[in-house]
Structures are given as structure tokens and as C-alpha cells.
Structure 1
Amino acid sequence: MNKVVSLFCGCGGVDLGTIGGFQFNKKTYEKHPCELVYACDIDQKAVDSHKLNFDTGKTVCADICEVDAKDIPDCDILTGGFPCQSFSTVNPTKDPFDDRANLYKQMVRVVQEKKPKVFVAENVKGMMTLHKGEIFKRVLSAFETAGYKTFYSLLNAADYGVPQKRERVIIVGIREDIWKKKGNFVFPEKPNEGNWVPLSAAVPKLAIEENKYYFSERAVQGMKNAKKNMKRGLAQNLNEPCLTVTSHLAKVSLNSRDPVLLVDPQKELYRRFTPLEAARIQSFPDDFKFAGTETTAYRQIGNAIPPVLFWYVTDAIIKYLEK
């Protein structure tokens, strides 16, 4: 059984994919030989959600900068989707050297102390290209200096059966002694490449009764009167995967890049996704529980890594370690 430590765990998208043993879109994702021994996040509501869904050895709400690595159990696999706001392509004007961008150093610190067989880091696509790739090189170099051979790939969740176009860079680090014995790590094949799961898998019907999810007539008129160069009213095609959902799902606007639903073109009826739909778009099973209000649930969902995508990454890692 592989012992797993999860940093920046959020509500548990990575951890559900790591552990396995869940169903999504009528498909069963088998349990992996993994045991979650420690999980940490700074968001209390996300930690509350994590505790509702996982039987973890120890789950703590803490700033990783203040966590002593000696308080973290030894592990075989260490995961971490360190916060990515500073690397986002949505707002390239943010300082890429601020404290949030430097949180990868905390993951390096823990990796260096605990020496897991494998670590897995995740981030947004933009991290690879900011400052002409210098930031990405810096991140890889830090992990390599810690004693790991790194492999990375830009993966699209839609290629793995998630009803969402969501590109994320995945970095897998193999401890050098293991890499020298087993050779290079190979990322999982893309089972749904060219055969993407449509949004209809998450949104079975457009019209719903709850008025709170519909945009007002004023919002629709504001969208129509917006400057022509603005992205607006990004109504999704149910026959295709959804565009990327974000952490501000509760504040989705018609005058933004946010994906929305057009319920009735003639009546100009638009609405946002419900929390259940948003969770399905991220490939969470329907029985996954979110603590807090709808607003905090939306944030947890938008910040998560799709469990199905991470299941395939973990599956490749398990097969690598067992060969």
C-alpha cells in the first residue's frame, strides 16, 4: 500500500483521483493501492469538505509555510497542486514572483525532507510560458536539485473523459535511485482523445426551476450593449465539452470569459451552472459532499483538479512503481 501525502489538497479532487474507487458518467474508476495519511490546505471550508469525503490519517487546516516537515508523515507519493493565480493566463499582469507563486518552494522543501518515491505537482498552462519559460525552468530545477528526475506534460482533461476543456501541466518527479532502476516515466495514454465527453453528461437539461441561477434582463441587456471586442455570453454547446470553469463560479458574468448556459435563445434566457452541474463538469461523483455555502462550494469546485484526470495520472504512476 502506497502512503500518500497531499499538500494544497483543497476539497480533494487530487485525492479522489489518487485513491480511486468512485463512479463518474456510468464508469467505475477502480481503487488504487494508496492510503491517504496526511492532507493540508489553508482554506477551512475546503478542509471541512475533505473531512466529509475522506478517511485520512491526519487532515489539517494550515499555511504550508508554517508547517514543520517533521510533522508530516513519511510517504511513498506526495501530491500538490500549488496555488496558481500568479501563473494564470487569464490575468498575465499579476506579479509572477509574489508569495503565491513561490509556494512551489514549500512543496520542494517537503519533498526534500520526506524523500517520497514520487511527487506529482500540478499547475495551469500559463506557468510554462510566463517570462519565456524561465519560471517553469526554475521550478523544475528546484525539484531536480532535491534529487528527482522530472517529467512533465500538458494534459487536457477532455482527453480523459472529463466533460470540460481544461489544460493543466502535470509534473511527475521520480526519486533518482528509483528512476535509475526503472527508467523514464511515461504519461497515460488519452482514452478519450477525439471522442470527448459532451457537456450534456453534466447538464442533462437546460431549464431548471430555481430562479437564482438565471441572469436578469438587465444583465442580458448589459451584455448586448458591451463593447464588440469583449468576450461575452459564452453559451456552451451541450454536444461539446465545457470551457474551463473557475473558482469564481458564484460570480459568473455574461460580460466575461465565463461559460454559461443559454436556456432559450428567443427569450434570451441565460443561467449559470448549479453547484451539482459544476461538480459534474469537474468529474466529481454525485455523492461527493461540499461543506459550507453554495458560494464556498463553487470556489472549492473551481479550484479543484478533475478527479478523473488525476486517476489516470495516478494509475500510470502505480504501474510504473510496480514494474
Structure 2
Amino acid sequence: MTLGELFSGPGGIAVGAFEAASNPIFNGRVNLRHGWANDYDYDSTQTYIGAVRKYDPQVSSDSVLHGDVRALDIPALPAIDGFAFGFPCNDYSLVGERKGINGAFGPLYSYGVDVLNAKQPDWFVAENVGGLRSHQETLLQILDELEVAGPGYNLTTHLYRFEEYGVPQKRHRVIIVGIRKSLGLRFRVPAPTTPRKTEQHSARAAIEHPRIEPEAANNEIPRHNDTVTRRLRAIKPGQNAWTADFADDPDLRINVSGATLSQIYKRLKPDEPSYTITGSGGGGTSVYHWSEPRALTNRERARLQTFGDDHVFHGRRQSVRKQVGMAVPPKGAQIIFEALFKTLLGIDYVSVPARLSKNQAAVPRPVRLFHVGGPQ
């Protein structure tokens, strides 16, 4: 099978797909090849090339296209058997202006629909933030368009809590899997592999075991001024700038009217999954170590996203931070693709009911702008 991608980022979905294809359970029956990929961020394309080349040496700057998707000649792209696209989430996140489909990024899912119409792959996987559920009319529109695109697809839509699938991070994402209706198959949601908190899937385990080698890429220790260091020393694991006790040093309080975002200077709880890793944000949003008074390195953040230490991110520190935070955790993607390949091959697996459907999307639900685990 040949894979095509839009909004490919630093390769989280691709690595998960290739790792799934190499699972011994398939006994060589799944041969996944890189077809093409596209992303508007140059550093991400270079990271993607290096990561995917380990699985398919044919990947190159000729097949990983840097540029705005709106200028992409989709009909001219080579044929593909499978398609993946993590369409930009900025306007659907519950943090920010929440412009939805009316924002600059909101309509970009339609280019995935264009690919399905033009290339008619056998299957596709689409990803977006959990906040997409609060844009009910938009979600219904997206599902309607995906269902009738190209040859027509059977859809399975689910809100995945990735901490339930071995990812040491509370990261909740809407995943839509579509299979051509003519194949007579429907994807089933794989059952959680780690439904309960375990020390093996904690922030401490991810960052410390095995130890990150000193020469590891993207592992520069962040430097902070004295005020930030003192503030972090006063914040206990699990606390943030709003819940910490600064009675001994009132100058450390943050005086921002109307702002109580739970992730500001929030320190990790070492024996629990991390809160959500984000790709951008101002001071105090970098994810903070539970014992050392500092932000995590990008390599530590990448570990919480389940990237291997050999996954080298290209670009300056802020570019790498953005790539890591915007990516799909390869471990989560791998489990989804393993279930997809089992579906295509007729291999049974343990599944659970989908948490989201067109009918469920049409039911109004309360919207929470923030929660203790970080923005979702």
C-alpha cells in the first residue's frame, strides 16, 4: 500500500503507520510504502524526511512537498492506496478564539476531501483536537463530506484518550477512519491497552527510563531568569501559577486579570501521565519538570509524545517545540493503524464502541473552556 499525507508535520502519523505495518502479527502481509506528503512548515518537512527514510529510502524532497496546501496541485499527485491528514486544529481548540470553520485554518479539512475525490484511496485516517466536538455543525459537515467523497466511505469516528493507549500524556483527539464502502468493511475502535494509571506509562517513566544520553539531539536545557526559577521552586508537582502558595514571596504571583489557564507554570506529576503537550504559547506554557526548577527539554517533550530518541527534529528550539507539540503521538497512531490493517486483512481484535458518531455530534453538549489536565 502506498501512503499519501497532507499536513504531515514531523512524521508522527507516518512513523505510527510504518511501525504498525512491521508488526510480526501480519507476517509480511502489509507492505507500506511512502507515496507523498505535504506540509507548509519547512523544518517539519526536513524532520519528516529523516524519520520516514528509515522505513522507505525513497522518501526525498521530491516526494515531501513544502508549501501551502492551497497551492498544491492535487490532481497531479501520484496515486495512493491510503491517505492520512491531521488537518490543522488551531480554530477548533477550546483554547483561543475558537473561530471554527470561519477561521483561517478551519476550512483546510476540505483539501483532504479533495484528495479523496481525486485519488479515491481504499482508506483514510483523519485527526483533529477533541475540541472539534464543540463545533457540532462543522463536525457534521466534515463527516458528511468525507462520507460521500470519492467512491464513498464507511466512517468510524472516535474520541481517543491517548493515555489509555500507552501514551504517557493526557492527549484527547478525534480520529476519523474511513474505508471504501465497496470493500464492505467498517473499522472498529481498538480497545484501550492502558485504561488505568500505571507507573510504566507515567511522565517519570517516559523521561527517565531509559536515561536520555547527553549527546541526544534536541535536548538543550532551557535557561530561566531568577524570578522564574524561584517561582518554579515554590510550585509543587501538579500545581500551577494559580494554585501554588506564594505567601513567602508574594512578588512571584502572576497578576494577569481574568486569566487562570491551568497550564501556566504547571509542574508535572511524576507518577501520572503528562498534561497535554502544546506546540506554542507564551511564557509559562512549556511544561515543567516535577523536581528540577525548569521547563522540559524538547527531547523530554518528544518522549512524552512517544517519539524515539533517534527521531531528530530539524530547526531552532522554538521550531522544534512547535513540531513536537503539534504532532500525533506515533504510539497512538500505531495502535490505530494496526487495527486498520487487521480490519483490511480480516484479523479479529478486541474493540470498543465508538464514542462519537454523526448522531452523537448533533446532540448539544456543554463546552468547558479549560480543565485541570490542560487545554484539549
TM range (shorter): 0.7 to 0.9
Equivalent residue for 2:224? 215
Look up the equivalent residue of 1:274 and give its one-letter code: T
Look up the equivalent residue of 1:69 and give its one-letter code: I
What is the 5 A alignment of 1:1-323? Answer: 2-20=1-19, 33-55=31-53, 56=59, 58-94=63-99, 96-130=101-135, 133-146=136-149, 147-178=152-183, 181-182=184-185, 184-196=186-198, 197-204=201-208, 213-219=222-228, 220=231, 223-226=252-255, 230=260, 231=262, 232-248=264-280, 253-254=283-284, 259-263=287-291, 270-323=293-346
CA contact (8 A) 2:100 2:138 kept: no
Give 1:166 shift.
Answer: 0.2
CA distance in 1: counterparts of 2:195 and 2:31, whole angstroms? 27
CA distance in 2: counterparts of 1:63 and 1:299, whole angstroms? 17
After superposition, the C-alpha distances for 1:27-71 in whole angstroms (9 at most, x for unaligned) are 999995311111111111100111122232711112122112222
Q: 1:222 to 1:138 in 2, by over 3 A?
A: farther
Q: 1:229 to 1:91 in 2, by over 3 A?
A: closer
CA contact (8 A) 1:120 1:173 kept: yes
Q: 1:281 to 1:73 in 2, by over 3 A?
A: same
Give 5+ residue unaligned stretches, structure 2.
Answer: 54-58, 232-249, 347-376
Give 1:302 shift.
Answer: 0.6
CA distance in 2: counterparts of 1:223 and 1:134, whole angstroms? 43
Give 5+ residue unaligned stretches, structure 1.
Answer: 265-269
Q: 1:82 to 1:89 in 2, by over 3 A?
A: same
Equivalent residue for 1:267? none
CA contact (8 A) 1:157 1:167 kept: yes
Look up the equivalent residue of 2:46 and give its one-letter code: D
Across the aligned residues of Structure 1 and Structure 2, the Cα RMSD in angstroms comes to 2.8
CA distance in 1: counterparts of 2:177 and 2:163, whole angstroms? 20
CA contact (8 A) 1:223 1:233 kept: no
Taking structure 1 as the reference length, the TM-score comes to 0.86
CA distance in 2: counterparts of 1:306 and 1:300, whole angstroms? 11
CA distance in 1: counterparts of 2:221 and 2:205, whole angstroms? 23
CA contact (8 A) 1:155 1:169 kept: yes
Q: Which moved more, 1:66-75 or 1:305-314?
A: 66-75
Give 1:312 shift.
Answer: 0.5
Identity, in percent, stands at: 27
Q: Which moved more, 1:213-222 or 1:82-91?
A: 213-222
Q: Which protein has the bigger strand share?
A: 1
CA contact (8 A) 1:19 1:36 kept: no
